[in-house]
Chain A
Amino acid sequence: MSKPRVSGTGAAHSWAGQPLHRRALMQRGAMLGLALPVLGALGTQAPSPAAAQESGSGGVLVFDLGSEPENLDPHQMLAYTTSLVVYQMFEGLVRFAPGTLEVEPWLAESWESSEDGLDWTFILRKGVTFHDGTPFNADAVKFSFDRQMDESSPFYKMGQWSTATDLAIIDSVTVDGEDTVTFHLAGPYSKFLSRMTGALDWIVSPTAVEQYGEAFLENPVGTGPYQLDRWEKGQQVVLRRNETWWNGTPGLDEIYFRAIPEEGARLAALLSGEVNMSLDVGPETVDLLRASDAHTVATGPTGAIWFLAMNVESEPFKDVKVRQAVNYAVDKRAIVEDVLRNTVETAYGPLSPGFEEYNPKVETYFSYDPEKAAALLAEAGWPADREVVFRCSIGGSGMLLPEEMATVIQDNLRAIGMQARLEVTEFVSWMDAIRSDQNELTVMSWNVAPTEPDYIFNGVLTKGAFPPGFNTSHWTDEELEQLVADALVTADPAVARANYERAQEIVMERAPIVPVCHRQQIYGYTNSIKNFAPSPSMMLDLIDVWIEN
């Protein structure tokens, strides 16, 4: 949610300023790997070995999330920061191999799919147990999906959110033996395996769910490398090493997830050693940490995009020349370097370079060129007395520093002869306003993992996302809709990739948005932490991390 200025970062990852929901990241977002096995092929691989450059183990990680988890159930959690905690305790049948966006076997040893791509059979790993001693098997897998999909299950929807529609691609799950489970899909789906890495596909202990009921929200039991020790509400979530983990000994003895909301306090806590790792510290903090000998700042990609949305149905932005003019007018360098102090990447198109489908051709469309912009505006016959309403929200950390950034843009527009009246409002009022047909120009932020281009296109750039969705440009293009729809069901990864590459070009040609920057994952930590690297999938890999005394 949006935070007041005094509290600084807060819910660090958010879409449109909201806490990033599991659907945006875990299920819909963190999905696509390049190494999609061809349908019908058989996948068998050992899980990647611990890629330890420096050997060692042990230590206590004190990790500042910025905001406290709302619950710890992978099928009910909301915030991205929460998913980082829950990810330590739960596992799926497959996962992204560390440091890559490649899907590898995890709780499943292998899988095969039917010719038509509709039935996927997984052979499960043997000898795996949940933290409570319950054996992991095909029944547990079916249970984890049925509690979300099957209304007749006694454990159906035990929380606030129904996740059934998010799992709609799965028609049913059948148990074909102790260690064999088959997923029957509702239709062909090219990204099925990468989707299976998502949080809704993490396996929960059936015994624990039966025992705790809705209190499973606070008593999570999975198979992961770390398990819940205790949750001191308002203080910290404490995890300890799972001593009987199936894949070796996890590096850390204990992990304390804390939540310091205030930016100044976050920095002080890191400098004084009260915490040894912080997620998404602000631009000023990054400068200070970079200057410190005892600290490291590591950045990783996201699929997030911060952009200007121009309502193509509103009078001012009907003409593509005007939209191109705005694209030439915005000085992204000033925003990225001066306002955000190089904590973000400059954006040239809808997808960030973190996506494997990123098309570098987008960089050739627009550069900062106020003269060209002014000429285009004149060509479009822009009336000198026309004023555009430019909407901006005061907060939401996914929004970065919206007011400062919008002020730069307002200035840029004035320089080419476009008067923009900046309307800065509180987050919720802003959200109502931008989804009205009357909206003309607004800042936008859309936050997903760089794994699934679909969630950018179908999130903010297609007809299906027209308000009340978040296509606040009200823009639709037949060719793009077709490309994106085909990419989702094609059996050929090369076709999917080509479609997404062309889709990026179309967006820049028709210019319904001005891509401004891509947020990065930013971790600040003390140098005693070894073997840590931000993950391309935006998850927090702590299996091989350890801390030097």
Chain B
Amino acid sequence: MTRYLIGRIAQVIPTALLVSVVVFLMLHMAPGDPVAVILSAKAVAYTEDDVIALREQLGLDKPLIAQYLAWVGNAVRGDLGTSLYLRRDIRPLLFERLGATAILAAGALLFALPVGIIGGVVSSLLKGTIWDRLINAVIVMGVAVPVFALGLFFIVIFGAYLRWLPVSGMVSAGGGDFVDRVKHLILPAVALGVGPAAILARLTRSSMLEVQNEDYVRTARAKGLKEGVVTWRHTFRNVLIPVTTVIGLQVGFLLGGAVLIEVVFGWPGMGSLIINGILQRDFPVVQAGVLAVALCYVFVNLAVDVLYAVIDPRIRYGA
């Protein structure tokens, strides 16, 4: 068990390094010179000398490899640099935004888990009925509709038309108490959670159906156990393993999908930070933001792997 864990954790380091290289290269090879963007934001004609001076000031005159090493070296020590546009230290900025995204992702998960799992179980129990088909239709829609379209749909229906819920930001003007915050969370969290809920439901359903045909389930039924006991104790527990994997992957999806949902709902999280950073060619912010999201993904997957070992004895001993 310990060896498995150590081995698994050790894998994080090369993954994180690879992520950092990709993030760095992606930005530095993208079209658009940050120096030109910054200088032209000043709306005055600038000279070649200005370009050279600013490039030097930003360290962009050094070879790419040197720039990369300097960046990674600082990042490891917790120094993520300064935003070119906002003129602020990136680390506190990142933590503020990471917090907001975490709340959004947690809200989405809070919606997706019960809805997805219960939907899947119910649909498997009612297999072949009209209800099963109905649930399936909803699932297909949930998977297929793009998250931002769903967000806009919610905004129009629940914000503009019914006026039940606020559509933008985390708090109201003058508000900010718990109820106000929860109200602001509902629409973006549900919009973000629909996709994962649908995927979970589909997986739960198929796993349930698969497990129902296993020998031990048949044995349980043969022993005369009640159907409810068979479903929950013998079937559902075994369904949890693949479901846990998918939940782990969905957390990654939530972080990615949050980028779009945050823009639609004006949610001040990582997504809007990264998008604005890209538009303003604020390299340090984008690098730090993408790296943070990627690392979250890596760590969530690590957590899921560790969780397996706890849930599933086969993995524990197999390692």
**Chain A interface (Cβ < 8 Å from any Cβ of B):** 1-4, 6-7, 10, 15-16, 18-21, 23-24, 28, 60, 62, 70-71, 76, 78, 159-161, 165-166, 214, 217, 232-236, 238, 254, 256, 258-262, 264-269, 271-275, 426-429, 431-432, 464-465, 468-469
Q: Please judge, given known A-B contacts A1-B280, A234-B100, A431-B36, whether A268 and B266 are in contact too, CB under 8 Å.
A: no
Stretch at the interface among B152-160, B204-212, B302-310: B152-160
Most buried by B among A4, A19, A159, A235: A235
Q: Would you call B111 an interface residue if the criterion is a C-beta within 8 Å of the partner chain's C-beta atoms? A: no
**Contacting residues, chain B, for A272 (C-beta < 8 A):** 159-160, 163, 166-167
How far, in angstroms, from A426 to B30 measured CA to CA in the complex? 11
How far, in angstroms, from A10 to B280 measured CA to CA in the complex? 12
**Contact yes or no, B87 A265, CB < 8 A:** no
**Contact yes or no, B44 A262, CB < 8 A:** no
Q: Which of A235, A266, A274, A468 contacts B268 (CB 8 A)?
A: A235
Q: Please judge, given known A-B contacts A21-B42, A21-B43, A428-B36, whether A271 and B160 are in contact too, CB under 8 Å.
A: yes
CB distance from A264 to the nearest CB of B (A): 5
Binary interface encoding of chain B residues 43-68 relative to chain A, with 1 for a CB under 8 A from any of its CBs, else 0: 11111000000000000000000000
How far, in angstroms, from A166 to B173 measured CA to CA in the complex? 37
**Contacting residues, chain B, for A7 (C-beta < 8 A):** 263, 275
> Which residue of chain B has the shortest Cβ distance to A264 in the bound complex?
B152
Q: Which of B40, B44, B168, B265 contacts A258 (CB 8 A)?
A: B168
How far, in angstroms, from A110 to B96 measured CA to CA in the complex? 48
> Which residue of chain A has the shortest Cβ distance to B164 in the bound complex?
A272
**Contacting residues, chain B, for A165 (C-beta < 8 A):** 44
Q: Which of B148, B160, B275 contacts A268 (CB 8 A)?
A: B160
**Contact yes or no, B44 A426, CB < 8 A:** no
How far, in angstroms, from A18 to B245 measured CA to CA in the complex? 44
Sampled A-B contacts (9; CB under 8 Å): A7-B275, A18-B43, A166-B44, A233-B268, A262-B266, A265-B152, A265-B167, A428-B36, A431-B40
Q: Would you call B170 an interface residue if the criterion is a C-beta within 8 Å of the partner chain's C-beta atoms? A: yes
**Contacting residues, chain A, for B45 (C-beta < 8 A):** 464-465, 468-469
How far, in angstroms, from A24 to B148 measured CA to CA in the complex? 35
Q: Please judge, given known A-B contacts A6-B264, A265-B264, A428-B36, whether A234 and B43 are in contact too, CB under 8 Å.
A: no
How far, in angstroms, from A6 to B265 measured CA to CA in the complex? 12
**Contacting residues, chain A, for B156 (C-beta < 8 A):** 264, 268
CB distance from B109 to the nearest CB of A (A): 22
Q: Give the dominant DSSP class at B's interface.
A: loop
9 shortest interchain CB distances as A-B pairs: A234-B268, A428-B32, A256-B173, A469-B45, A268-B160, A268-B159, A1-B279, A21-B43, A24-B43
Q: Which of B41, B87, B171, B281 contacts A19 (CB 8 A)?
A: B41
**Contact yes or no, B167 A3, CB < 8 A:** no
Q: Please judge, given known A-B contacts A159-B87, A468-B46, whether A265 and B32 are in contact too, CB under 8 Å.
A: no
Q: Which of A23, A254, A259 contacts B42 (CB 8 A)?
A: A23
We find that the number of chain B residues with CB closer than 8 angstroms to chain A is 47
**Contacting residues, chain A, for B40 (C-beta < 8 A):** 16, 18, 431
**Contact yes or no, B159 A21, CB < 8 A:** no
How far, in angstroms, from A270 to B33 measured CA to CA in the complex? 37
**Contacting residues, chain A, for B281 (C-beta < 8 A):** 1, 428
CB distance from B282 to the nearest CB of A (A): 10
CB distance from B190 to the nearest CB of A (A): 15
**Contact yes or no, A217 B87, CB < 8 A:** yes
How far, in angstroms, from A160 to B160 measured CA to CA in the complex? 40
How far, in angstroms, from A464 to B36 measured CA to CA in the complex? 18
**Contacting residues, chain A, for B163 (C-beta < 8 A):** 272-273
**Contacting residues, chain B, for A232 (C-beta < 8 A):** 171
CB distance from B154 to the nearest CB of A (A): 9
**Contacting residues, chain B, for A238 (C-beta < 8 A):** 173
CB distance from A284 to the nearest CB of B (A): 13
> Which residue of chain B has the shortest Cβ distance to A76 in the bound complex?
B87
**Contact yes or no, B260 A6, CB < 8 A:** yes
How far, in angstroms, from A320 to B25 measured CA to CA in the complex? 46
**Contacting residues, chain A, for B275 (C-beta < 8 A):** 4, 7
Binary interface encoding of chain B residues 84-127 relative to chain A, with 1 for a CB under 8 A from any of its CBs, else 0: 11110000000011001000000000000000000000000000
**Contact yes or no, A429 B31, CB < 8 A:** yes
Q: Would you call B313 an interface residue if the criterion is a C-beta within 8 Å of the partner chain's C-beta atoms? A: no
CB distance from A244 to the nearest CB of B (A): 23
How far, in angstroms, from A272 to B156 measured CA to CA in the complex? 10
**Contacting residues, chain B, for A465 (C-beta < 8 A):** 45
**Contacting residues, chain A, for B256 (C-beta < 8 A):** none
**Contact yes or no, B97 A262, CB < 8 A:** no
**Contact yes or no, B44 A274, CB < 8 A:** no
**Contacting residues, chain B, for A15 (C-beta < 8 A):** 43
**Contact yes or no, A259 B266, CB < 8 A:** yes
**Contacting residues, chain B, for A23 (C-beta < 8 A):** 42-44
Q: Would you call B172 an interface residue if the criterion is a C-beta within 8 Å of the partner chain's C-beta atoms? A: yes
**Contacting residues, chain A, for B97 (C-beta < 8 A):** 234
Q: Would you call B20 an interface residue if the criterion is a C-beta within 8 Å of the partner chain's C-beta atoms? A: no
| Chain B 157-188 interface residues, beta-carbon cutoff 8 Å to A | 159-160, 163, 166-174
> Which residue of chain A has the shortest Cβ distance to B45 in the bound complex?
A469
**Contacting residues, chain A, for B44 (C-beta < 8 A):** 23, 165-166
**Contacting residues, chain A, for B264 (C-beta < 8 A):** 6, 262, 264-265
**Contact yes or no, B96 A234, CB < 8 A:** yes
**Contacting residues, chain B, for A426 (C-beta < 8 A):** 31-32
CB distance from A394 to the nearest CB of B (A): 11
Q: Would you call B231 an interface residue if the criterion is a C-beta within 8 Å of the partner chain's C-beta atoms? A: no
CB distance from A462 to the nearest CB of B (A): 11
How far, in angstroms, from A20 to B41 measured CA to CA in the complex? 8
Q: Would you call B13 an interface residue if the criterion is a C-beta within 8 Å of the partner chain's C-beta atoms? A: no
Q: Which of B41, B170, B173, B272 contacts A261 (CB 8 A)?
A: B272
Q: Would you call B37 an interface residue if the criterion is a C-beta within 8 Å of the partner chain's C-beta atoms? A: yes
CB distance from B279 to the nearest CB of A (A): 4
**Contacting residues, chain A, for B266 (C-beta < 8 A):** 258-262, 265
Q: Please judge, given known A-B contacts A18-B40, A262-B263, whether A71 and B155 are in contact too, CB under 8 Å.
A: no
**Contact yes or no, A268 B169, CB < 8 A:** no
**Contact yes or no, A235 B169, CB < 8 A:** yes
CB distance from A20 to the nearest CB of B (A): 8
